């Protein structure tokens, strides 16, 4: 499953970082068309590229 946090990722406040967002919000994000088309299965490397694209699109 691509929505899992990587094993090498550190914990924040002693928990998995994705659990800092409530389950209902997380579920809505994972079910959104944007997530499925643009973000599903991103690796750390491609996540940085995606964030850069979004930042450049704003300006």
- What is d(CA 42, CA 29) in angstroms, rounded to the nearest whole number? 14
pLDDT digits (tens, 9 = 90+) for 33-59: 998 998 888 888 888 898 899 888 887
Domain for residue 51, yes or no? yes
Domain for residue 52, yes or no? yes
Domain for residue 46, yes or no? yes
Cα dihedral 54, 55, 56, 59, rounded to 10, equals 120
Domain for residue 44, yes or no? yes
pTM of the model: 0.59
Domain for residue 2, yes or no? no
Domain count, the chain: 1
Residue-number span of the structural domain to which 32 is assigned: 17-58
Alpha helices in the chain (DSSP H): 23-31, 33-34, 44-58
Domain for residue 12, yes or no? no
């Amino acid at each position: 499953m691509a929505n899992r946090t990587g094993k090498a990722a550190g914990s924040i406040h002693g928990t998995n970082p994705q659990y800092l967002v409530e389950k209902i919000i997380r579920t809505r994000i994972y079910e959104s068309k944007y997530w499925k088309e643009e973000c599903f299965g991103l690796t750390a490397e491609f996540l940085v590229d995606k964030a850069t694209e979004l930042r450049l699109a704003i300006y």
